[in-house]
Amino acid sequence: MNSIKRHLYDQFRLPRGPLGRLAGRTMSRRSSNVERSRWTVDLLALQPDARVLELGYGPGVGIEAALEATPGGHVVGIDHSSTMRSMAAKRNATALRNGRATLIVGDAQDPPSDLGTFDAIFCCNVWLFWNNPDTTIERLARLLAPSGKLAITHLPRHGNPTKDDADEAAQRIEQQMQRSGLIQVERAYLPLEPAPAVCVTGKTC
């Protein structure tokens, strides 16, 4: 990857400044992104009063979908980009004002210990940036209530992605969830061009 490409790619890992806002706008307007976030929330089959955590909320599209699915619940997000926090806060201003949403700037790999437990935790195109997915998934599993669900969605983006890239990511995520003690580990595909998104879900006992 040349240095210009690497710099642009990095705006999706840690969006900041004007280029970060441009990346955020791309994420919030690209139909495949929006469809993939909403599909992931649908797969969680949330109860209306569920407590939900999204990691790497970006411009806040997934937070918005989770709020719609839980009219009596609470949605927390963690993203390490303050640029994304301001975009997501604008999109979800009413829920923040009403105390139905909380948007934290922090590292999703090491969530604060005082968040309580969640009925569901999800992320979309964030897993690929984790330094140690095994440790992160173990920490997330500990934040889940009994019968809570973790959903990790991956949509391959780089080069000329194919279904094989989605499959390879899914296999690694499945193994990581199984090693962390999650059960009923399953995968689902969302057909998109040129490659499908894949979501791996796992539950606590």
Which residue from 89, 32, 99, 43 is spatially nearest to 66, judged by alpha carbons? 43
Options 50, 76, 78, 137; binder of ligand SAM; rule CB under 6 A: 78
Residues 150, 173 contacting (CB under 8 angstroms): no
Binding mask 36-55 for ligand SAM (x = CB under 6 A): -x------------------
Backbone angles phi, psi at 100, to 5 degrees: -90, -15
Q: Does 77 bind ligand SAM (CB under 6 A)?
A: no
By CB under 6 A, what part of segment 125-184 binds ligand SAM? 125-126, 129
By CB under 6 A, what part of segment 10-39 binds ligand SAM? 12-15, 27, 33, 37
Residue 105 C-beta: closest distance to ligand SAM, Å: 8
Options 70, 109, 176, 201; binder of ligand SAM; rule CB under 6 A: 109
Q: What are the strands of the beta sheet with 51-55, ordered from one edge?
A: 101-105, 74-79, 51-55, 118-124, 144-154, 197-203, 183-190
CA distance 132 to 109: 8
- Beta carbon nearer to ligand SAM, 90 or 183: 90
Tell me the C-alpha to C-alpha distance, in Å, between residue 168 and each of 3, 115, 164: 27, 32, 6
Choices 44-52, 69-77, 119-127, 169-177 (CB under 6 A): range interacting with ligand SAM: 119-127
Helix (H, G, I), strand (E, B) or coil at 148: strand
Residues of this chain that bind ligand SAM (CB under 6 A): 12-15, 27, 33, 37, 56-58, 61-62, 78-81, 84, 107-109, 124-126, 129
